[in-house]
Amino acid sequence: MKTGKKISGGIYHKARKKKKYELDRQPRIVKLGERKMKKIKIRGGKYKTVLLSTNIANVVIPGKKSEKLKIKNVLETPPNRFLARQNVLMKSSIIETEKGRARITNRPSQEGSVQAVLIEESQ
């Protein structure tokens, strides 16, 4: 049977429309480039600072403290390989920094920064 249809062939109607707080927002795509941020209004009259583009990441180096490093390139994005070609920064993306390769550990579109862990040091 087709989904959303009754056995008789009729269609199911929604009980109600979505309320304002149930609506989705437009997806934010964080690109590699000059740092750009935006404030969006959230529930409760507060604001959230979100990232639109950046070229700096807070990279944790195992056994040492974290450093702010410049992002050179997006090497790969496991969920979608086409996003790496467009230099889109998202969680689990592998980026190339000044010290080597790093994996992004946070969601840059939800927060105002890029956090990463160094996985391979360059010689």
pLDDT in tens, 75-117: 999 988 899 999 999 999 999 999 999 999 999 988 889 999 9
The answer to whether residue 11 sits within a structural domain is no
Q: What are the contacts of 103-107 at 24+ separation with CB within 8 A?
A: 104/57
CB 117, CB 62: distance < 8 Å: yes
The answer to whether residue 114 sits within a structural domain is yes
pLDDT exceeds 70 at position 1: no
Q: What is the pTM of this model?
A: 0.79
Tokens of 107: 């969601």
CB atoms within 10 A of CB 106: 15
User: How many domains are there within the chain?
Assistant: 1
pLDDT at 35: 93
Domain CATH for 110: 3.10.290.70
The answer to whether residue 20 sits within a structural domain is no
CB 61, CB 119: distance < 8 Å: no
Q: Which structural domain, as residue segments, surrounds residue 70?
A: 26-121
Which is it for the CA torsion 71, 75, 79, 80, positive or negative? positive
The answer to whether residue 31 sits within a structural domain is yes
Residues above pLDDT 90, as percent of the chain: 59
